[in-house]
Structure formats: C-alpha cells, structure tokens
C-alpha cells in the first residue's frame, strides 16, 4: 500500500497560488513541525487567496525513530523523486514528489537535526530559468533570515530537485538544531512563512522587507550547498567545537578537536579558508569522515543586492 502523507490544508474563497510547506523531511528536525502546526491555526479563517497545504512531518518513519532517516537508512533528501514500490523512504519521496508537482510555490523547512546546528538561512538553487530564479530569490529574501544562499542547481535527490525539474519556484530554510526545540526558531519560521504568503498576495498584511543586514551569497560552483562534505574529522571519537555558530574565522583557525575516550590521541580540524561558520557539529560523539563544520567562504561572490 502506498504511503500517504498526513497534511493540513487551508483554502481561501478567492483564487490564488497553491503553496506547499513541508517539515520533517528529516525525522529529527523539530521547529518546522511545530511551526507548521501553529501556522495552520493562524491561517484558518485568515487566508485571503489561494491554497496552502502544510505537511508538518513528511518522514513519519524517521520521526518514529527520532532520527534523521528511517530504518532503511536512506536520506529522504537524497532519494527524491523516489519510487512508489520501493523502501519506506523511497515511497515517502515518491509521495512528497506528487505533492510538489501539485503546487505553484514550495518551501521546505529544515534544521540541523540532533547532531548539527545551522546558521538561520534560506537557500535556493541557481535555476537556469530566469523567471524561476527571480521568484526564488524573492522568496528567500522575504523569509527574513540572516543568510540567503543560492547554490548549484545540479544537485539531485532533493525535494528542491523535484521542484527544479518542474520549474516550480522553491526554497529551503534552516534554523539551528541540536536536539532541543527552539521557540525562537518556531517563531522565525512562523513569521517567515506568513511574510512569504503576504508577499504572494495570499494573506492581507503588510510585507516586511528583508533586514538590511541580511547577507546574500550566490555560489554556482559544483557541489556548493552540499553540507556534508566540508571539513571532515580524521577519526571517530569525542568532538568539541572551538568556534561558535555564525562566527567569522580565518584560514587555519581551529574549528574543533576530536579525541579518543581517554584523550590520549587528539586531532584538530582547521578551517581550509576564511569565512563564516554556518554549520557546526554540536553532538559530542562523531564518526570518522563526518563534517565538523561548514565555513561559507569570505570571498564567495556576494550577490548583487
């Protein structure tokens, strides 16, 4: 039997865009789940135009484990568009892809999960079609988070890859993580979604323009935006970061130290270039070859404002 995603929906009496908002593509990312449930309550009776479909937890099988992935070990964000008759994650990816095909704008909310913290950002693919790219730039900016990050459009398997292939403007967002539930994160996601809907003319409230200090970076290099391959640890063990999330570091700065359980053997992981720490591994247990941090290069092309 095919997997059916549990969704909430608000339909206005006047026509307008169809928007899809998802959380829980990874099963250990809490703020999106809480924010989308609350947003459903806020929007009911207030949506002026169009349709908003909310899926607070796409990956229920992973959520049941309190883990990023389900028991088949596949990352849902690498499995799209999935397979109707495949494993649980492949089926979930297929069901998600059907939902994406049925919308005009898509926003996929994430966090770093239990092991990582991510500097609040809205990201998008540098779509070759100018109409889609412009819409994505605007969506990411009005979401109102500190960082806006456009990256290589050729990455596959993502929810955004499905939207890309169908020319549907789409963004993803990240907000901290680390295992707890951040009320600030829930509120930021609630505000961001509402402002996005206001900007699309679906909710009657003034659009808040992006904050002046928002950093906009576009980096078309292959694999930019692939967070799992940056600054790997040489050994498994106990990891302690030596930088803070959001901090600007110089080249060769110590990002963190990993040691064995006695502390007799210690290795350091250093920044390969200067930039801002936008992802940090905050879970003390770490496996070998795992990324300890993503540093967004200082000289990465700042997009035209």
DSSP string for residues in the chain:
-------EEEE-SEEEEEEEEE--SSTT-HHHHHHHHHHHHHHTTTB-EEEEEEES-S-HHHHHHTSSS-TT---GGGTTT--TTS-HHHHHHHHHHHHHHT-SEEEEEE--TTTEEEEEEEEEE--SSHHHHHHHHHHHHHT--SEEEEE-TT--SSHHHHHHHTT--EEEEEEE-SSS--HHHHHHHHHHHHHHHHHTTSB-SPPPPPPTT-EEEEE-STTTT-GGGSSB-SS-EEEEESS-TT-EE-TT-EEEEEE-TTSSSEEEEE-SS-EEEEEEE--SEE-TT-B-EEEEETTSPBPP-
**Nearest residue (CB) to Zn ion, 25 versus 126:** 25
**Nearest residue (CB) to Zn ion, 28 versus 247:** 28
**Nearest residue (CB) to Zn ion, 110 versus 231:** 110
Residues 6+ apart with CB under 8 A from 156: none
Closest distance to Zn ion from the beta carbon of 48 (Å): 31
β-strand 237-241 against 254-259: which pairing, if any? antiparallel
Closest distance to Zn ion from the beta carbon of 217 (Å): 20
Closest distance to Zn ion from the beta carbon of 26 (Å): 4
**Nearest residue (CB) to Zn ion, 22 versus 91:** 22
Closest distance to Zn ion from the beta carbon of 134 (Å): 26
Closest distance to Zn ion from the beta carbon of 304 (Å): 29
Which residues here bind Zn ion, judged by CB under 5 A? Answer: 26, 110
* 3, 95 Cβ separation under 8 angstroms: yes
**Nearest residue (CB) to Zn ion, 78 versus 242:** 78
**Nearest residue (CB) to Zn ion, 110 versus 137:** 110
**Nearest residue (CB) to Zn ion, 34 versus 43:** 34
Closest distance to Zn ion from the beta carbon of 2 (Å): 23
Closest distance to Zn ion from the beta carbon of 285 (Å): 19
Number of residue whose CB is nearest Zn ion: 110
């Amino acid at each position: 039997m095919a997997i059916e995603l549990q969704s909430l929906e608000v339909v206005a009496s006047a026509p307008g865009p169809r928007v899809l908002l998802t959380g829980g593509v990874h099963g250990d990312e809490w703020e999106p789940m809480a924010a989308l449930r609350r947003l459903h309550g806020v929007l009911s009776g207030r949506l002026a135009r169009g349709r908003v479909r909310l899926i607070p937890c796409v990956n229920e099988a992973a959520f049941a484990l309190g883990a990023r992935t389900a028991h088949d070990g596949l990352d849902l964000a690498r499995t799209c568009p999935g397979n109707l008759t495949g494993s649980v994650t492949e089926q979930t990816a297929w069901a998600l892809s059907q939902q994406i095909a049925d919308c005009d704008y898509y926003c996929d909310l994430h966090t770093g999960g239990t092991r990582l913290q991510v500097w609040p950002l809205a990201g998008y693919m540098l779509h070759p079609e100018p109409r889609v790219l412009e819409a994505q730039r605007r969506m990411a900016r009005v979401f109102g988070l500190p960082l806006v990050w456009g990256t290589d459009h050729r990455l596959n398997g993502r929810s955004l890859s499905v939207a890309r292939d169908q020319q549907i403007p789409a963004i993803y967002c990240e907000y901290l993580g680390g295992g707890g539930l951040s009320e600030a994160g829930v509120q930021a996601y609630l505000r961001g979604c509402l402002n996005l809907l206001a900007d699309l003319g679906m909710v009657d409230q003034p659009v808040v323009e992006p904050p002046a200090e928002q950093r906009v970076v576009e980096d078309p290099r292959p694999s930019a935006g692939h967070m799992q391959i940056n600054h790997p640890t040489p050994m498994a063990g106990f990891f302690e970061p030596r930088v803070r999330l959001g901090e600007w570091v110089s080249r060769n700065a110590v990002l963190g130290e990993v040691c064995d359980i006695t502390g007799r053997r210690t290795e350091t992981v250093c920044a390969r270039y200067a930039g801002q720490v936008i992802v940090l591994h905050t879970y003390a247990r770490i496996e070998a070859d795992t990324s300890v941090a993503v540093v967004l290069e200082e000289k990465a092309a700042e997009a035209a404002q």
